Amino acid sequence: MLLVIDYGNTNGVFAIYDGERLVAQWRCASDARRTVDEHAVWLTQLMQLIDLTPRDITAVAISNVVPAADRALRQLCRQYLNCDPVTVRDTLPSAGIAIRLSRPDQVGADRIANAKAAHDAYEGAMIIVDFGTATTFDVTDPDGGYSGGVIAPGINLSLEALYLAAARLPRITVEKPEQVVGDDTLSAMQSGVFWGYVGLIEGVIVRIDRERQRKHTVVGTGGLAPLFETVTEAIDHVDLDLTLRGVRLLYEAHCGRSA
């Protein structure tokens, strides 16, 4: 079985695949201070709940955007799972993805994985909108090549900044307001953040289409993607497992087989 680790700035997701079948996935708060032993205790206890042990893991593929967590994740694989992990960067020579950037070394591993999975599942040129710590728009060509993107503050990050910078504004959660024009501070804040992000999504997609002179298929991913899918026609598909699937596909392309 293959363990896929998608370690992001806010959350880390650990998923187990049996071939193409997703067996289980678990989420933890990202913390670069977490030791290899803490990772191992957390993971093995969750595996026991589905009658698996570390011996059932035959390979590990990692997408990690937190450099300080890299050492502990690699040690987890070698010390407790008895295997050397394959990273997204390791897979690039055999991934079949052209990185058409002036600085290809700067593109995040999760964004490469998203591009791979989207090209595998959908057709044509694409914009992948990932609602994570940052809201990213990744642009791919019809052949699957990664040709650039847009990075904006994530919606929760914006909410936190608003709360910290304005003394009289409360901390709020993301939800769709009843109407655009709020009749008190709370509803006005919710409207500004929610509909402001809808405007961001729609506006950026329109401008990318215009700049590239083509209509892109838009794929949304990340935990908040379903919330925004219900209020805009700009998103064609929501695919919540896109990054995990992309890491698995990159691993298979690298190794020429599934785990």
Residues with active-site annotation = 110
Is 243 one of the annotated binding-site residues?
A: no
Instruction: Spell out the SS3 assignment of 10-72.
Output: CEEEEEEEECCEEEEEEEEECCCCCCHHHHHHHHHHHHHCCCCCHHHCCEEEEEECCHHHHHH
DSSP state of 215: P
What CA–CA distance (Å, rounded) separates 88 from 246? 9
Is 58 one of the annotated binding-site residues?
A: no
Is 37 one of the annotated binding-site residues?
A: no
What CA–CA distance (Å, rounded) separates 251 from 259? 9
Is 11 one of the annotated binding-site residues?
A: yes
Is 109 one of the annotated binding-site residues?
A: yes
Is 51 one of the annotated binding-site residues?
A: no
Any residues with CB less than 8 A from the CB of 250 and at least 6 apart, and which? 61, 88, 91, 95, 112, 113, 116
Is 8 one of the annotated binding-site residues?
A: yes
Is 108 one of the annotated binding-site residues?
A: yes
Residues tagged in the binding site annotation for ATP:
6-13, 133
Residues tagged in the binding site annotation for substrate:
108-111, 185
Residues tagged in the binding site annotation for K(+):
130
